[in-house]
């Protein structure tokens, strides 16, 4: 089936009975799943996270949202925020809050869960977002810019339509920069794959990819450890020369 929030599958939670176990097979515009897709957690703000958050749409909880939280947390997907109901099961002493709110990304249909953490009196208050990384771009789309967002600790891409997406990532194979390790090595291999395909192939399986030494040297160097955007042309230059625009 082609799944869309609030249409084909409606999940009912009964606090007295819990919920039934189920298996969901979903054919979405691109493929998502907790077994393959890495989970993204956004806590720190940046101009890119604000752009992504700004397009999210409210929705009722679905099984895909439940895949982003633990079994113990799942009932809170149905509980209102303390601001809406001081007697909510997610409220703490009528002022603190541990609620979870559900959204979806209208460009990808990815589920999104936002946690509101507020201490009593509100001296500490923050929001954390969870979602899945994609495993590819929709058919026909091409990467135009690769984005290192060190403010939020996230790698993004912008496609040829100007749309912002998480850089596709598999569970357990995250990207990073600025030191010698597995994360920078994965990122170098992804850049190699992007350059070789002229931005068409951003699937995260790089097991058969050997990154050029210039890419490995750059991603593991402190010079890479800052927020920046790199066009395809700049990525090609980086692969050839080992240098990127300041």
Count CB atoms within 10 A of the CB of residue 178.
17
- Give me the pLDDT at residue 30, please: 41
Measure the CA–CA gap between 191 and 211, rounded to whole angstroms: 8
Q: What angle do CA 27, 33, 35 make, to 5 degrees?
A: 140
Tokens 């925020």 belong to which residue? 81
| Nearest alpha-carbon partner for 102 in 142, 151, 64, 58 | 58
Joined tokens for residue 102: 């559900």
pLDDT one-digit tens code per residue, 62-119 = 989 999 998 889 999 999 999 999 999 999 999 999 999 999 999 988 999 999 999 9
Tokens 């039934």 belong to which residue? 20
Asked if 52 and 154 count as a contact pair (C-beta separation under 8 A), the reply is no
Measure the CA–CA gap between 89 and 176, rounded to whole angstroms: 38
Helix, strand, coil percent content, the chain, rounded in steps of 5: 20, 20, 55
Q: Phi/psi at 88 (nearest 5 deg)? A: -60, 145
* DSSP code at position 219: H
Q: Report domain extents, the chain.
A: 39-132, 143-241
pTM of the model: 0.83
- Give me the pLDDT at residue 22, please: 41
- Give me the pLDDT at residue 13, please: 46
Measure the CA–CA gap between 132 and 30, rounded to whole angstroms: 12
For 197-211, what is the mean pLDDT? 92
Measure the CA–CA gap between 245 and 237, rounded to whole angstroms: 10
Count CB atoms within 10 A of the CB of residue 18.
11
Q: Which of 1-10, 33-42, 129-138 has the lowest mean pLDDT?
A: 1-10
């Amino acid at each position: 089936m082609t799944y869309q929030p609030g249409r084909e599958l409606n999940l009912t939670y009964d606090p007295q009975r819990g919920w039934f176990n189920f298996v969901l097979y979903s054919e979405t515009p691109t493929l998502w799943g907790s077994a393959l897709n890495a989970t993204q957690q956004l806590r720190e703000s940046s101009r890119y996270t604000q752009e992504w958050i700004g397009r999210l749409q409210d929705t009722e909880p679905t099984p895909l949202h439940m895949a982003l939280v633990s079994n113990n947390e799942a009932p809170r997907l149905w509980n209102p925020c303390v601001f809406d109901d001081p007697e909510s099961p997610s409220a703490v002493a009528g002022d603190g809050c541990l609620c979870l709110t559900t959204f979806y990304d209208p460009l990808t249909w990815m589920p999104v869960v936002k946690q509101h953490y507020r201490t009593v009196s509100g001296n500490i208050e923050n929001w954390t977002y969870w979602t899945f990384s994609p495993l590819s771009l929709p058919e026909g789309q091409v990467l135009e810019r690769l984005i290192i967002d060190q403010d939020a600790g996230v790698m993004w891409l912008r496609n040829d339509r100007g749309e912002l997406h998480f850089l596709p990532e598999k569970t357990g194979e995250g990207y990073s920069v600025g030191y010698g390790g597995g994360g920078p090595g994965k990122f170098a291999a992804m850049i190699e794959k992007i350059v070789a395909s002229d931005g068409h192939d951003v699937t995260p399986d790089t097991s058969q990819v050997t990154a050029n030494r210039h890419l490995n040297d750059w991603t593991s160097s402190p010079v890479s450890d800052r927020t920046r955007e790199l066009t395809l042309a700049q990525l090609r230059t980086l692969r050839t020369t080992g240098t990127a625009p300041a």
